[in-house]
């Protein structure tokens, strides 16, 4: 499919939740899309669209910025429901790494398409992804074809005795392949596809690899990112401390990895000095409450991180540790899990929607382009129906979106002005075909996977 931008569209009526600097919420509003960009946002009677613009009637609906999930593993979507009730290091060693090692290009395509179909259906328009070690071209191809906005990269793993043969790579090969992927894909599709170097976590990478990634990212001036996991689990933190003689975030910082183009998933176990360092450096904390609960990792101190001034975004992590890729579910959890500890006013609904829109955009370094509905920004937007029975009645839009709307209430999705979901139907993917192919690809992967059972 060729890259094309749609003609003009007027999204008319409905409540526009702009998430702009003033946090305007416009009842009976309108949004004009021309090509890949938003050209006007305002009250319906103030906004004019070019002659001949298509009209999308949004009366009774909410119009929100496309949701952004800043930590996902599309490659794991095929392994949903196959790794339940384990803690992180067992989950990786007994299930996820053997499964990932058994991937081939065809199964990667199925995993990516299954994940992208779920994301678009649920109003997620942009993601930060971490792949497995191989086949990452396939993920970019799937994003290019389906129209979602993807920043991602192959996982880098050059250390660890428990890593299966199919994943363990040499430092040189890991860096060379990552650089080649970045050269092939970063900035493609009018900037919709971008590269992130993805050292998996400190324990699966040598000092040499981590240092080299730090200098590659620091030396780049094209927005390429670094994306890793950090301080998710107490055993992981202890092993990092034993190896480096300091806390995880400090160790990563000394290796040159913690800066304003870094995204660090989880940060559950970070002390006050690590929180301050994350804030000072401008690194983004990628909060995954569902995964943190399911893997029994803990509750990330997000209010404390925000108080310190850190950038925070949210994500569902991988399907096998969640088990959905649902931004609405993740927003709800992000709000709820802090309240028993800090009281009901901790993490109010508006703050949580900020994490899933503006926070995600900032984490991706795309805050000038996405994250709010404003003239000049990319036309990544979602129209949802808040009037269905489970979220009816009520007129407090932030609370309604965060606490009661679910992914199946999303009706229309645009990315770069291109409609990807219309009336709840995917336009760039055939769901039945994706699921049929995923089933047969999974059988092939499982027949190869050495899980020791």
Interface with Zn ion (CB under 5 A): 317
Q: Cα separation of 453 and 444, whole Å?
A: 17
Give the nearer residue to Zn ion in terms of CB position, either 169 or 317.
317
> Smaller CB distance to Zn ion: residue 317 or 369?
317
Q: Which is nearer to Zn ion, 317 or 416 (CB)?
A: 317
Closer to Zn ion by CB, 317 or 411: give it. 317
Question: Which residues are bridge partners to 41 per DSSP?
Answer: 31
The least distance separating Zn ion from the CB of residue 342, rounded to whole angstroms, comes to 25
Query: The tokens of 285 are what?
Result: 């904390």
Residue 106 structure tokens:
């065809």
- Please give the C-alpha separations between residue 378 and each of 25, 66, 393, in angstroms, as whole numbers: 19, 10, 32
Write down the least CB distance from residue 311 to Zn ion, Å.
18
Main-chain dihedrals φ then ψ at residue 29, nearest 5 degrees: -100, -175
CA distance 383 to 413: 7
Q: How far lies 324's CA from each of 20, 259, 308, 316, 423, in Å?
A: 28, 30, 30, 7, 22
Residue with the closest Cβ to Zn ion?
317
Of 107 and 292, the one with the shorter C-beta distance to Zn ion is: 292
Nearest distance from C-beta of residue 379 to Zn ion, angstroms: 29
Q: How far is the CB of 76 from Zn ion (least distance, A)?
A: 8
Q: Rounded to the nearest whole angstrom, what is the least distance from the CB of residue 201 to Zn ion in the complex?
A: 9
Smallest separation, CB 348 to Zn ion (Å): 27
Q: How far is the CB of 250 from Zn ion (least distance, A)?
A: 21
Tokens of 419: 């409609």
Closer to Zn ion at the Cβ: 256 or 318?
318
Please identify, using beta-carbon distances, which residue of 58 and 295 lies nearer to Zn ion: 295
The smaller minimum CB distance to Zn ion, of residues 96 and 142, is found at 96
- Nearest to Zn ion of 131, 419 (CB atom): 131
67, 356 Cβ separation under 8 angstroms: yes
For residue 69, the minimal CB distance to Zn ion (Å) is: 11
Non-local CB neighbours of 71 within 8 Å, separated by 6+ positions: 128, 130, 227, 263, 265, 266, 286, 288, 313, 314, 315, 316, 317
- CB 399 to Zn ion: min, Å: 29
Q: Which pairing describes strands 29-34 and 9-12: parallel, antiparallel, or unpaired?
A: antiparallel
């Amino acid at each position: 499919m060729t890259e094309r931008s749609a003609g003009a569209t007027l999204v008319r009526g409905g409540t526009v939740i702009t998430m702009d600097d003033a946090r305007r919420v416009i009842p009976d509003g309108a949004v004009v899309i021309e090509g890949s960009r938003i050209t006007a946002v305002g009250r319906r009677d103030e906004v004019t669209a070019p002659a001949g613009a298509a009209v999308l009637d949004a009366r009774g609906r909410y119009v929100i910025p496309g949701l952004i999930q800043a930590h996902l593993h599309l490659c794991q979507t095929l392994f949903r429901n196959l790794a339940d009730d384990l803690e992180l290091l067992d989950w990786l060693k007994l299930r996820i790494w053997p499964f990932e090692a058994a991937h081939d290009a065809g199964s990667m395509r199925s995993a990516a398409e299954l994940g992208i179909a779920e994301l678009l259906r649920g109003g997620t328009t942009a993601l930060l992804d971490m792949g497995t070690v191989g086949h990452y071209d396939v993920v970019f191809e799937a994003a290019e074809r389906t129209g979602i906005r993807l920043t991602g990269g192959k996982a880098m793993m050059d250390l660890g005795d428990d890593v299966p043969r199919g994943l363990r790579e040499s430092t040189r090969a890991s860096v060379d392949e990552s650089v080649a992927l970045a050269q092939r894909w970063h900035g493609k599709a009018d900037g919709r596809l971008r590269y992130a170097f993805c050292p998996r976590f400190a324990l699966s990478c040598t000092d040499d690899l981590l240092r080299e990634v730090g200098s590659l990212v620091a030396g780049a001036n094209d927005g390429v990112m670094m994306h890793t996991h950090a301080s998710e689990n107490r055993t992981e933190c202890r092993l990092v401390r034993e190896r480096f003689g300091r806390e995880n975030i400090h160790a990563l910082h000394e290796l040159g990895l913690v800066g304003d183009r870094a995204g660090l998933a989880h940060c559950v176990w970070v002390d006050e000095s690590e929180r301050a360092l994350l804030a000072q450096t401008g690194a983004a904390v990628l909060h995954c409450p569902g995964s943190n609960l399911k893997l029994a990792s803990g509750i990330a101190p997000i209010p404390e991180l925000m108080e310190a001034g850190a950038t925070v975004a949210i994500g569902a992590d991988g399907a096998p540790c969640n088990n959905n890729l649902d931004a609405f579910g993740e927003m709800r959890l992000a709000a709820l899990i802090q309240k028993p500890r800090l009281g009901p006013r901790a993490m109010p609904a508006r703050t949580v929607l900020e994490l899933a829109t503006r926070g995600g955009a900032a984490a991706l370094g795309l805050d000038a382009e996405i994250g709010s509905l404003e003239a000049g920004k990319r036309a990544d937007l979602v129209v949802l129906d808040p009037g269905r029975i489970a979220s009816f009645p009520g007129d407090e839009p932030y609370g309604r979106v965060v606490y009661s709307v679910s992914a199946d209430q999303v009706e229309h999705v645009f990315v770069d002005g291109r409609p990807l979901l219309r009336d709840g139907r995917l336009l760039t993917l055939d769901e039945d075909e994706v699921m049929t192919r995923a089933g047969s690809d999974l059988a092939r992967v499982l027949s190869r996977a050495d899980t020791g059972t």
